[in-house]
Structure 1
């Protein structure tokens, strides 16, 4: 009896899927730089599995406004609790770290600071200005919280015209009560809408900024929900 032909297997996994151990010396040098300046990175605070690879390459996403978040999202590894006062030296320290690393693109994010009147927006402004003063040729990307829906606080950041503005919707609306109980999907869409509209108005007198968002999958969402979110964020103005 002739054997039935076997279906082809899944094939070899792509090399980028494997985590390769970083150069220990490069990793330690990056840690000394970041910790020596009293800085935090989302790579460490959010327990990112790729932090070793990024640190070894001399790249990191700076986490400003401390290391304690006022919210407690289910997917995030950043500690939650009552944060201290923002460090006034932090913007200059971020700029110094970016300068020493020779970064051409600087990414800045933060914990959510619902305890502050402006949600930390003025600290973003100070950080943007410090980085640009130290690295005038670099581009800057900010990944901001929703500032509790306070448009005036968001406008403080937008007025600095970051080359990339990012605000993540994170998940589909149905899963917000479980994944992001202290956030609101429509509020996040409003952030994207306002960012796209405001930065679009500023474009004639300066370079165009990109508006980004992020969406996780694998949390129990359905395909049609993912497609719906992608459509809605595009309509809101995300590039």
Structure 2
């Protein structure tokens, strides 16, 4: 059998095992509209940020997830730290982070994150992570240690964590993170519940929703944040239902951004949502009671997070003053 025959056989077997992946690979790739295009990163600020990340042996979700805003954010010295390695135990079809068996946790990582935050001079930092279903606590203690390390190194820096769902962990895992007192607790729902089997097969919509609600029960003063992507095949009614579900869980801050397909093997883009539709979602979300809403094609969880956090605090103070 020739190497070409072997490759053809392997592709056929893979398609039979994973018909949904074969469908994604065969789906047409839509051309990006002008409003979603960004310039390639070339600035000195970008290079300086990259150097600090490399020197401290840190991973960023900006690179691993192929964020379109990396050029803008890194040029300003803003990088989202991705801790607990660069291999995720989940296989979400929207995400470009590698899936597999992760390495052991690096006990020195929290200190290195703190050093990088200090060198970058960050007033606000976003710390996220891969899913670590291989760990009994899902990595909760490691996240808490990172929060504490940043607090010790740069006490005035506000901290936002974007956590896994701790689906297979005891309740104490979430409590561990909340007790470390991040300023913002973020956990993304990612999409509407009807698309979870195709987009986020290892997660459970109502578990994630309950996680956000539980944060508020543990610490009513803590800001909570969640986001979804659009353009995956959802309809407008289902997006509004997610908004209502989030508000029922007392989520403060909503982000909505356009889904972009990382590679042909990932979930296809069903359509590009127009800027006017995003404005409509933003208006509706504020009408439902969110303190802060970011809804644009290029919105991502950590995009302009520092400025948005300042507005979020101001919105709470204004609400309390009413």
Once residues 213 and 46 of structure 2 are traced to their aligned partners in structure 1, the CA distance between those partners, rounded to angstroms, is 39
Quote the residue 1:143 is aligned against: 162
Quote the residue 1:121 is aligned against: 140
Contact 2:49 2:79 in 1 (8 A): no
TM-score under structure 2 length normalisation: 0.66
4+ residue runs over 3 A deviation: 20-24
Quote the residue 2:125 is aligned against: 106
Structure 1, residues 196-224: CA drift from partner, whole Å, max 9, x if none?
11111xxxxxxx32101011111000111
Which structure 2 residues correspond to residues 45-60 of structure 1 after superposition, within 5 A?
Answer: 45-60=64-79
| Equivalences, count | 218
TM-score under structure 1 length normalisation: 0.88
Quote the residue 2:235 is aligned against: 222
Structure 2 residue runs without a partner (length 5+): 1-33, 253-322
What's the offset of the Cα at 1:37?
A: 0.6
Once residues 37 and 206 of structure 2 are traced to their aligned partners in structure 1, the CA distance between those partners, rounded to angstroms, is 37
Structure 1, residues 166-214: CA drift from partner, whole Å, max 9, x if none?
01111111000000000000100110110111111xxxxxxx3210101
Is the partner of 2:182 in helix, strand or coil? coil
Structure 1 residue runs without a partner (length 5+): 1-12, 201-207
Contact 1:21 1:53 in 2 (8 A): no
Which structure 2 residues correspond to residues 154-233 of structure 1 after superposition, within 5 A?
Answer: 154-200=174-220, 208-233=221-246
Superposition CA RMSD, Å: 1.3
Contact 2:84 2:129 in 1 (8 A): yes
